Amino acid sequence: MGMKYLMKIVALALCFAVTLPLYAARRRATAPPAEMLSIEFVDVPAAGTTLIATGADAWIDLNTVSQRAGSTASVRARRQFGIRIFRTGGLSWGTATVTARVNSQDGRSSLRIDGKPVAGMPVVIDARALVGAMTIHTLEIEIPDSVAAGPLAASISWDVTTQ
């Protein structure tokens, strides 16, 4: 009886020893995490300074765009930038899916990222982006000839989800 009782206590202690750290880890993942996944937009050295503002909320200003002399094609502007996914306060490891969608737009242009048309629905830009590494992307804006001159504005929301 005494031996069985002792074994029960040992078994129960083992269960707690195994599960408590795991639940603690789960709490860390759901409660305010010390390690947080983040995305930031950065300039690509080869493309020069493209971003007026960097970080998680970045800004690209195309300045003035117009049709090239002698061209009959639509006005097109291309800009290259980098995206870096990282984990603050922890090791950067694993991969993540990067999606983008147009959050708001003036309706005067169409947008492509890495050749993929981007509109209101999320589009997978990178299915396996390495956390901790920078990836280079190309934004292409096309403005039809029929659109009147004037200001241009669009906002693209980016989401990163680990796998």
Which positions touch other proteins (CB under 8 A)?
4, 7-8, 11-12, 14-15, 18-19, 22-23, 25-26, 29-30, 36-41, 55-67, 69-72, 75, 77, 81, 85, 87, 96, 100, 103, 108, 111, 139, 141, 143, 145-162
Half-sphere exposure of 155 (CA within 13 A, CB side): 5
Nearer to other proteins, 71 or 117 (CB): 71
Write down the least CB distance from residue 54 to other proteins, Å.
10
Write down the least CB distance from residue 55 to other proteins, Å.
8
DSSP assignment letter at 68: P
d(CA 150, CA 68): 17
d(CA 103, CA 122): 10
Write down the least CB distance from residue 73 to other proteins, Å.
9
Nearer to other proteins, 16 or 45 (CB): 16
d(CA 156, CA 123): 11
Write down the least CB distance from residue 46 to other proteins, Å.
19
Nearer to other proteins, 21 or 46 (CB): 21
Q: In Å, what is the CA distance from 84 to each residue of 39, 72, 137, 154?
A: 6, 37, 11, 21
